[in-house]
Amino acid sequence: MLETELKQLAGELRLKALELYKMANAGHIGCSMSCLDLMIGTLVKQKRTQETFILSKGHAAAALYTCLNHLGEISDDTLQTFYKNNTTLPAHPAPNKHAGIPFATGSLGHGLPIATGIAKANQLLGDDLLTFVLMSDGETNEGTTWEALHFAVNNQLDQLVVLIDRNRLQGFGQTQDILGDSADPRKYEVIGAEVHEIDGHDIPAIIQTIELVRTQRNGKPKVIVANTVKGKGVSYMENRMEWHYLPMSADLYEQAQKDVIETYQLSVEHVH
């Protein structure tokens, strides 16, 4: 039953995110579809009240906003202001407006250093809290990623949980063709992290992995490399780089809704 409920939730939140993107005529849709299940497994189902979740790949803001709306941290009325003038929900997350968005993100390479600092502060305070940060695999090209990880390993920040959305596509092409596979799990093992490689769309497996790393106080930061599909759930978006950027036409939006309803076995009543 739990697996069925999680699948339905994944579909419902996809429909909600798609509605936001269509309403705003905005891009970055495929990026949200690839990491939404990771957010459900961590932010929605595993993060405790005093713990921190940072979406470092801020271009997937609509996925974050829909999850925070599901949790009751963003109202339905506020959600409808996405991308509009004077909104508190811009194209990339902005700080100091919602409790679930503690820092501005979107300039890639900043989320992990921030999360590392929070994890270090919790360690100094003796707080038994996890700090989650969700990154893109393209973002692991950034030098700040490796500086922060070396700091985390050297300081034994075993309450730091780094989630990497490994959809193998970034702004200019295949990640392998840009700077090589900088999200290769073996790289993190060599540095000294505890590494888990999972299916980033298997929400029960994501939850199980977070439950496991929560108990592992072994002096090693946790890196979860999640293999995902850009545009997951929408047939014409899956594994297509252009859906890093493009908005949807009315026809494509209708097709996206149909795809999600079919894939996640939803009833038509879920469509507004």
- DSSP-assigned letters across all residues of 182-193: TT-HHHHHHHT-
Q: Cα–Cα distance between 144 and 110 in angstroms, integer?
A: 7
Tell me the whole-structure pTM to 2 decimals: 0.96
CATH of the domain at 74: 3.40.50.970
Number of domains in the chain: 1
**Residues ≥6 apart with Cβ < 8 Å to 99:** 73
So what's the pLDDT on residue 178? 85
Range of the domain at 167: 2-270
CA 95 to chain centre: 17
Q: Cα–Cα distance between 152 and 113 in angstroms, integer?
A: 9
Written as tens digits, the pLDDT of the chain (272 aa) is 589 999 999 999 999 999 999 999 999 999 999 999 999 999 999 999 999 999 999 999 999 999 999 999 999 999 999 999 999 999 999 999 999 999 999 889 999 999 999 999 999 999 999 999 999 999 999 999 999 999 999 999 999 999 999 999 888 878 888 888 999 999 999 999 999 999 999 999 999 999 999 999 999 999 999 999 999 999 999 999 999 999 999 999 999 999 999 999 998 665 55
Which residue bears the tokens 């968005």?
Answer: 101
Q: Cα–Cα distance between 64 and 32 in angstroms, integer?
A: 8
So what's the pLDDT on residue 268? 65
Q: Which two tokens stand for residue 232?
A: 């997951």
So what's the pLDDT on residue 177? 84
For residue 110, count CB atoms less than 10 angstroms from its CB and return exposed for 0-12, middle for 13-18, buried for 19 or more.
Answer: buried
So what's the pLDDT on residue 59? 96
50-70 exposure pattern, b = at least 16 Cβ within 10 A, e = fewer: ebbbbbbbbbbbbbbbbbbbb
Phi, psi of 64 (to 5 degrees): -65, -45
Q: Which two tokens stand for residue 133?
A: 């940060």
For residue 249, count CB atoms less than 10 angstroms from its CB and return exposed for 0-12, middle for 13-18, buried for 19 or more.
Answer: exposed
Angle at the Cα of 35 from the Cα atoms of 32 and 39, rounded to 5 degrees: 110
- Beta strand segments in 28-184, E: 52-55, 131-136, 160-166, 169-170, 173-174
List the one residue out of 224, 216, 220, 158 whose CA is nearest residue 197.
224
Q: Which two tokens stand for residue 271?
A: 């469509």
So what's the pLDDT on residue 170? 86
So what's the pLDDT on residue 183? 95
